[in-house]
Structure 1
Amino acid sequence: MSTPPQDPSPLPDAPLPASDARRAALLRELDRAPARPAGRRVRVLVPALAAGALAATVAVVGVVTQVVDRNDTGPTAGPTAGQPAVRPAAPVLSDPELDAVLARADEVGLQYRNPGFGPTDYIYTQSRVRTASGALATQEEWFPADGDGPVVTEVGGTTTESSSGATKQSGPIFTLPVIAADPTYYRLGGGVGTAENGPLALLEEIRKALAEQGDDSDAAVFARLRRMLRVGGHQHGQVRTWLYHAAALVPGVRYDRDETDVIGRTGVALTLTTDGVRQRIVLDPTTGALLTQAGSDDEASPAILRSGLTHEVGGPLVVYREPPERSVPDVSLPKKSWDPDASVRTLDFANLEYELPIVVDDPKQVVAGVDSGSGGPVGTFRDGVALVPPDGKNPLRLRLDPTIVYLRATAAQVGPEAAGGDAAETAIVVLEMTRAGAPKQYAVIAFSGQPGPLYPGPQSLVRIVTGGPGPVVSASGDTLSFAERPGAPVERLVRNGVGFEPKK
């Protein structure tokens, strides 16, 4: 293996938030709920709590929101259309000390800053485990962020690979049903904290997913939450506390104040014992960090020492760094559209906002749209990158190829109104377009250089290319040479009044 990953920065201590009083009031109200009769598990519906008792959720990656409460489904919680809110089946775990521990974990979780990762990266975890002989050994594990590929494990110098258990999904992958049925770090990070994704909503979807697999027992639900922690949920502070709150709501769960892991560290635990098998999630009561999770007392019970994101197996951890101060303006536009001296060569395409002649509604592919000024999506490029839509769950990522090609159309090609016999220059821009769950595509866009009401903006879409290393474009005079990929047949195109056509 490569050089061991570096230690991430320790999580800071966090004071208890002011919401503890509201939490205590909520717990008292839940204590007054009727007890569940013995026997088969039933789901109890109780009236919704008074508005404002606790309405908060964890945050989406990169978006700051309020602190989560484990007894709330989010801002949309509460009765709708005459239906009562769904509350967990009694008995509900109620312990003021646990409530305080989870409040601290919430506060620390909100301080988490994602260092940046992609679906092909890995979650690295270093642990101490007890081997079959009873000795302690160091274990390193690399779990693929999107589950696509094997889990790599190294113990005592021996490396093994095993299945991640995840499958590729088509369509939206950050919805609760997909996360509950097939959890990966990538999906968890994209789905945490949206309005409908509170801890109770997560539990409901887990039960539905497990019911389809034939076992929606409380033990199976708790085990699924433990799996979510294992695939990397413990690494992302807001995902971690989302899972803690959900685990505390599983019927039959106990709060144990004095638990130790295999290396002797003391923490507190959420435990569930069924049919003599004890599952536990042990956490640090101050920082909320996961110390260990296990399905029974005789398992290896890995004691987590450190974890983080890495781009490759054996590579260094990716560390969050504050973004540098920008040296370019938000939108670079040296000359106004009405300025007769405006030139397409003065545009800073890497830091420009303009309407795109593409349609992005289908999550599986981008298709050709209408020309500029007709209501297409707007791309706000900063340092050559734009997200469309910028606040979507699974946005299209546009990356500008820094090489811009220029050609000059003739008056015969674009019309006699071209000043001086030649039209202003056209800029040919190539955008790489990527989105999770969809093939890579490229858009080749022509920008008009003639000052006017739509300048600066794309005059037309030349081509959309799917797959491959990307198109190859060049220009000579009034002619554009285009190939879908290196070595592919070359087309020669010239401008016309509305776009491009093959050169005769």
Structure 2
Amino acid sequence: MSIDPKRPEPAEREELARLLPLAPERELSGRHQRALRDQLLREFRQDSAGGARPRLKVRHLKVAALPLAAGALALTLATSGVFGQEGGTTVSGTGTTAAPGGKAPATTAAAVVLLDRIATVAASRPAFTVRDDQYVYVASKVAWSVQTDDDPLMRLDTPHSRKVWFSVDGSRAGLLHEKGKRIPLGGDLDKDGNPVPGDEPGNPSPNLNNPTYRYLETLPTDPEALLEKIYDETAGSGPGPDQEAFVTIGDLLREQIAPPEVSAALYKAAALVPGVTVVDDSVDAAGRHGVAVARVHAGQRTEWIFDRRTLEFLGERGVMLEDSPEGRRGQITATTAILKRGITDRPGELPARTG
């Protein structure tokens, strides 16, 4: 697969000019960000003068059919895999219409710039210091769509609190608190929150669809190498290689903590996936507005929402862009909001430090 982000159209130039100041601190952009801005300005001038249109050369990636990503979304939205809402939003660029020959449209220049800024900010954040016997804690507010045999329409659940504790190295059982239930993850826990002796460890074989913090530490920090790993290791089935790659990256960013350099690489890898666009205004499950990075697949849109000022990851949402037997245009299919992340010494404990 050749990855070749398209050059900005006139309408996108205005959008880029608005998006470029998004970084909260000028020094966060760094040399790479200044070079990217200079390059875009040069291209704008060349295009206005009728000059040649340069191409970004990127090595080809080996791709195949991909399976549906695991996790809570896969359990409830196995046929959609999206987070997005159409009402009240504007998609920048023209990357939502299928290209000739059925190929995915190019990722818009606005999305490339925004993801580069998000990656720069993510790389600048301090890393957590963690021990193997500790737990990653993530608190969120979520609502998933469900279907039943009696009702084929997707029905969005009521937004509710969700808290998870994942073993840092996967050697211990985790814990989920949701809808008043206390659910062990990867083995049973006793009344004190400790693994029951003799049970299988919590996550002895972590992977892209079921990672641990230690697993995330091993991922490549080169965006192209990381994206090739995602394409290769999720090959087999699913809605399509590009959509599956986008959803997998979103899963890795949502309900885990990744080292700063890995988070940055994931955002830059997302910019290499064809068909990624920007949504000017999106709202997470907590009602927070932000700018979103999005991708459309099979009439539905996946959005990752970020704080417009700090570029902090807020959450995700999903929308149907076309009528279907499962729902109607504009229907929200899922919504999430990340409220807190941190490290604890045991499942069920709240962290002293959050991020």
How would you bin the TM-score normalised by the shorter chain?
0.5 to 0.7
- 1:243 aligns to what? 266
Matches within 5 A, 1:278-289: 278-289=301-312
Q: Which one of the candidate residues 159, 168, 178 is aligned to 2:204?
A: 168
CA offset digits 1:318-343 (Å, max 9, x no partner): 549xxxxxxxxxxxxxxxxxxxxxxx
Matches within 5 A, 1:138-149: 138-149=161-172
- 1:109 aligns to what? 122
Is 2:137 the partner of 1:124?
Answer: yes
Larger radius of gyration: 1
Matches within 5 A, 1:190-209: 190-193=218-221, 198-209=222-233
Matches within 5 A, 1:255-334: 255-294=278-317, 298-317=332-351, 319=353
Which secondary structure does the structure 2 equivalent of 1:243 belong to?
Answer: helix
For the residues of structure 2 that align with 1:204 and 1:311, how far apart are their CA atoms?
A: 35
CA offset digits 1:116-141 (Å, max 9, x no partner): 21233222111122377754322212
CA drift of 1:267 comes to: 1.1
- 1:33 aligns to what? 55
Q: Cα distance 1:141–1:180, how it changes in 2: closer, same or farther (>3 A)? A: closer
For the residues of structure 1 that align with 2:110 and 2:285, how far apart are their CA atoms?
A: 27
Q: TM-score, normalised by structure 1?
A: 0.42
- 1:253 aligns to what? 276
More strand by share: 1
Which secondary structure does the structure 2 equivalent of 1:191 belong to?
Answer: coil
For the residues of structure 1 that align with 2:255 and 2:202, how far apart are their CA atoms?
A: 10
Q: Cα distance 1:98–1:20, how it changes in 2: closer, same or farther (>3 A)? A: same
Q: Cα distance 1:96–1:272, how it changes in 2: closer, same or farther (>3 A)? A: closer
Is 2:232 the partner of 1:219?
Answer: no
Q: Cα distance 1:299–1:214, how it changes in 2: closer, same or farther (>3 A)? A: closer
- 2:25 aligns to what? 14
Partner AA of 2:25 in structure 1: A
Is 2:93 the partner of 1:93?
Answer: no
- State the identity %: 25
Question: What is the number of residues matched between the two proteins?
Answer: 246
CA contact (8 A) 1:185 1:231 kept: no
Q: Cα distance 1:277–1:259, how it changes in 2: closer, same or farther (>3 A)? A: same
Q: What is the RMSD computed on CA atoms of the aligned residues? A: 3.9
CA drift of 1:217 comes to: 1.5
CA contact (8 A) 2:111 2:278 kept: no
For the residues of structure 1 that align with 2:210 and 2:141, how far apart are their CA atoms?
A: 27
- 1:361 aligns to what? none
For the residues of structure 2 that align with 1:152 and 1:316, how far apart are their CA atoms?
A: 12
Q: Cα distance 1:304–1:180, how it changes in 2: closer, same or farther (>3 A)? A: closer
Which secondary structure does the structure 2 equivalent of 1:200 belong to?
Answer: helix
Partner AA of 1:144 in structure 2: S
For the residues of structure 2 that align with 1:153 and 1:112, how far apart are their CA atoms?
A: 27
CA contact (8 A) 1:143 1:231 kept: no
Q: Cα distance 1:268–1:135, how it changes in 2: closer, same or farther (>3 A)? A: same
- 2:217 aligns to what? 189
Which secondary structure does the structure 2 equivalent of 1:301 belong to?
Answer: strand
CA drift of 1:96 comes to: 4.5
For the residues of structure 2 that align with 1:166 and 1:207, how far apart are their CA atoms?
A: 26
Q: Cα distance 1:139–1:254, how it changes in 2: closer, same or farther (>3 A)? A: same
CA contact (8 A) 2:116 2:267 kept: no
CA offset digits 1:336-370 (Å, max 9, x no partner): xxxxxxxxxxxxxxxxxxxxxxxxxxxxxxxxxxx
Partner AA of 2:315 in structure 1: T
CA contact (8 A) 1:271 1:280 kept: yes
Which secondary structure does the structure 1 equivalent of 2:273 belong to?
Answer: coil
Q: Cα distance 1:258–1:295, how it changes in 2: closer, same or farther (>3 A)? A: closer
Q: Cα distance 1:293–1:114, how it changes in 2: closer, same or farther (>3 A)? A: same
- 1:64 aligns to what? none
Partner AA of 1:309 in structure 2: I
Q: Cα distance 1:91–1:302, how it changes in 2: closer, same or farther (>3 A)? A: closer
CA drift of 1:97 comes to: 7.2
For the residues of structure 2 that align with 1:158 and 1:110, how far apart are their CA atoms?
A: 36
- Name the structure, 1 or 2, with higher relative contact order (CA <8 Å, separation 6+): 2
For the residues of structure 2 that align with 1:142 and 1:294, how far apart are their CA atoms?
A: 23
For the residues of structure 2 that align with 1:21 and 1:115, how far apart are their CA atoms?
A: 28
CA contact (8 A) 2:291 2:308 kept: yes
For the residues of structure 1 that align with 2:185 and 2:34, how far apart are their CA atoms?
A: 46
CA contact (8 A) 2:110 2:278 kept: no
CA drift of 1:259 comes to: 1.0
More helix by share: 2
